[in-house]
Structure 1
Amino acid sequence: MATKDVNTADSPRDTKTIDRVVDVIATTAPEIRTGLPGRRVKSEAQNPSGETQMAADVFADDLLCERIGALEGVGEYGSEERPETIDVGNGPLSVALDPLDGSSNLKPNNTMGTIFAVYDGPLPAHGRDIVAAGYVLYGPVMTMIVARDGVVDEYVIYDDATYELVREDISLPENGSVYGFGGRVPDWTEDFEAFARDVEQDDSRKLRYGGSMIGDVNQILTYGGIFSYPALQSAPEGKLRVQFEGYPIGYVLETAGGASSDGTKSLLDVDKPDLHARTPLHIGNADLVEKLESALD
């Protein structure tokens, strides 16, 4: 299971580069959001995971690639939307993104986000190589979560591309009050279904599942509890991508004092060198994640 053993960038160069990456993501987010209304249609292409891309996926990826790729200190850019990484400079750090997590929610106008991770090394990297990670949530209020140097902070992003720190050193609430589980119930494994039914019996917890992973994760960071997208009978490796979703979300939750797991170990200890490898994902309060691991043992 997870412990709060996360890496920090310790050189001035790395700190400045991380600052620049976070700034680009924050200042690009309003442009991504503004560009969504005219891009709610499918493109003619598929991403490397075999999913049909939305026009908004391509738009967000192109913007972020151009701007992050121009930053001093960034050597490599990787995206869920691209089959391979791109060499963008000679810097020591790499940036991996899910440019528009939950883009299938464009049609019903549900929550979406941008997930990012900064790695100290080339891609595909290992979870313990992360030096910063976070996400932008395109909700009623546009917010950004950033985990770095052992701290998780929240910013509000405004339409004029300015942003403001609103919460510092966020910790997961001790008594988690929400839960959400992805995947079709008939496709769950027997052990996971038994665990989920047990969680549902606690009437102090409320079901919060919106079908947009980043929105569901933010619910856990706000209220505590547990979110899972488990291994499925039809997909034993899970659905979510290690490099672009598993590692960064695990890093954020562990930095906030919570836990992450692939069902047996911390998400940050998952060792899958394929750029687009998948993983089951479980994040939340440590006691619940420990209970889940015991149920799946």
Structure 2
Amino acid sequence: MTDIFEAIQRTAKRIKIAIDTKDIGYSQQENSSGETQLQLDIKCDMIIEEEFSHVASIHTIASEEKEHEMPMHKAGKYYIAYDPLDGSSLIDVNLSVGSIFGIYENAFGAKNMVAACYVVFGPRVEMVFAHHKTKLHLLQDGEFEFVKEIRLKEKGNLNAPGGTQQNWEPYHKELVDSFFSEGYRLRYSGGMVPDLHQLLLKGGGLFSYPGTADKPEGKLRKLFEVFPFAFIYKIAGGEATNGHVDLMTLSHKGIHETSACFFGSKYEIARVKEVYAKNR
């Protein structure tokens, strides 16, 4: 696992340079969702693929930017699914973005996840790596230094509601509004990584991306986004659900399959499950 952790650190340093210097215009290519890719998305994908190609313990990788998984080393045992630059469309307005990594053993799937990691590229470059504990690291003077272990409180006070409101179910809107009526503060940038990072570092709250009228199975991908953050939040003492069951109990049919998802402290997730149980 150390070799993977070190490889992710190298990718983060290189991606930081790419963000600072690379043309962020659109390419002529589309990703797995049919979205036109930014030049920077492609560059970051290539950086991660190259670094992982040197790690003998990695058997297979899967990128959010590629349609199919890619074999690496036959003798390796780890399978890594990653989103090279989540929220890359925010770069042209200078908001924080991030990279997400789900680390699986022997095969992709929530039951096989052994670690997860994300990197936030903002005013500072920070990395959160979850294995047996959820740990924060800060890039300083060219190296990542351990800062602290992250633990969530039983209840937070931040509310980060994703998805277009006109496509929400009425009961979901009522749920979101109920947290605001309790005094929760809105924190939503449109970037999954910085928003979930803020909730972690501020002690808790709720990040929600429900199934909607236009995307009933949710928008966020299980292997690249949903499972990694579910793992991170649970290791940090929080919870993660699709509204009905623990996200880490879900199966997946393909590497790009999506799910509704809610991440937060125990109090908020209990409220989510209570509301969704009444509206199955």
TM over 0.5: yes
The 1-side partners of 2:193 and 2:78 are apart by 24
Give identity over the alignment, percent.
Answer: 30
Quote the offset at 1:158 in angstroms. 3.1
Question: Which of 137, 142, 146 is 1:155 aligned to?
Answer: 137
Quote the offset at 1:28 in angstroms. 2.0
Query: What's 1:112 paired with?
Result: 97
Query: What's 1:230 paired with?
Result: 210
The 2-side partners of 1:272 and 1:175 are apart by 30
* TM-score, scaled to structure 1: 0.90
The 2-side partners of 1:66 and 1:159 are apart by 24
Quote the offset at 1:30 in angstroms. 2.0
* Preserved contact between residue 69 and residue 77 of structure 1 (Cα < 8 Å): no
1:129 corresponds to which letter in structure 2? N
Cα deviation digits, residues 92-121 of structure 1 (max 9, x gap): 111110010101111211110000011012
Distance 1:175 1:286, change over 3 A: closer
- In structure 2, runs of 5+ residues without a counterpart are none
Query: What's 1:8 paired with?
Result: none
The 2-side partners of 1:234 and 1:28 are apart by 35
The 2-side partners of 1:158 and 1:81 are apart by 29
Quote the offset at 1:50 in angstroms. 1.6
Cα deviation digits, residues 13-66 of structure 1 (max 9, x gap): xxxxx2111111112212211112423111111111122111111111111111
The 1-side partners of 2:171 and 2:276 are apart by 6
* Preserved contact between residue 262 and residue 270 of structure 1 (Cα < 8 Å): no
Structure 1 residue 47 corresponds to structure 2 residue 31: yes
How many pairs align?
274
Cα deviation digits, residues 64-102 of structure 1 (max 9, x gap): 111112201111011101111111102111111001010
Question: Which of 108, 121, 141 is 2:106 aligned to?
Answer: 121
The 1-side partners of 2:66 and 2:141 are apart by 28
Runs of 4+ in 1 over 2 A off after TM superposition: none
Structure 1 residue 217 corresponds to structure 2 residue 196: yes
Quote the offset at 1:173 in angstroms. 2.2
Q: What does 1:272-283 correspond to in 2, within 5 Å?
A: 272-283=252-263
- In structure 1, runs of 5+ residues without a counterpart are 1-17
* Preserved contact between residue 180 and residue 227 of structure 1 (Cα < 8 Å): yes
Which SS does the other structure have where 1:251 is aligned? helix
Query: What's 1:7 paired with?
Result: none
The 2-side partners of 1:296 and 1:42 are apart by 39
* Preserved contact between residue 226 and residue 284 of structure 1 (Cα < 8 Å): yes
Quote the offset at 1:287 in angstroms. 1.6
Quote the offset at 1:237 in angstroms. 0.7
Query: What's 1:198 paired with?
Result: 178
Query: What's 1:133 paired with?
Result: 116
Query: What's 1:242 paired with?
Result: 222
The 2-side partners of 1:175 and 1:294 are apart by 16
The 1-side partners of 2:40 and 2:251 are apart by 31
Query: What's 1:72 paired with?
Result: 56
Quote the offset at 1:179 in angstroms. 0.9
1:61 corresponds to which letter in structure 2? D
- RMSD over aligned Cα atoms: 1.1
Quote the offset at 1:230 in angstroms. 1.0
Query: What's 1:182 paired with?
Result: 162
Which SS does the other structure have where 1:43 is aligned? strand
Structure with more relative contact order (C-alpha pairs < 8 Å, separation 6 or more): 1
The 1-side partners of 2:8 and 2:101 are apart by 9
Which SS does the other structure have where 2:85 is aligned? strand
The 1-side partners of 2:169 and 2:215 are apart by 10
* TM-score, scaled to structure 2: 0.95
Which SS does the other structure have where 2:128 is aligned? strand
2:270 corresponds to which letter in structure 1? E
1:266 corresponds to which letter in structure 2? D
* Preserved contact between residue 102 and residue 117 of structure 2 (Cα < 8 Å): yes
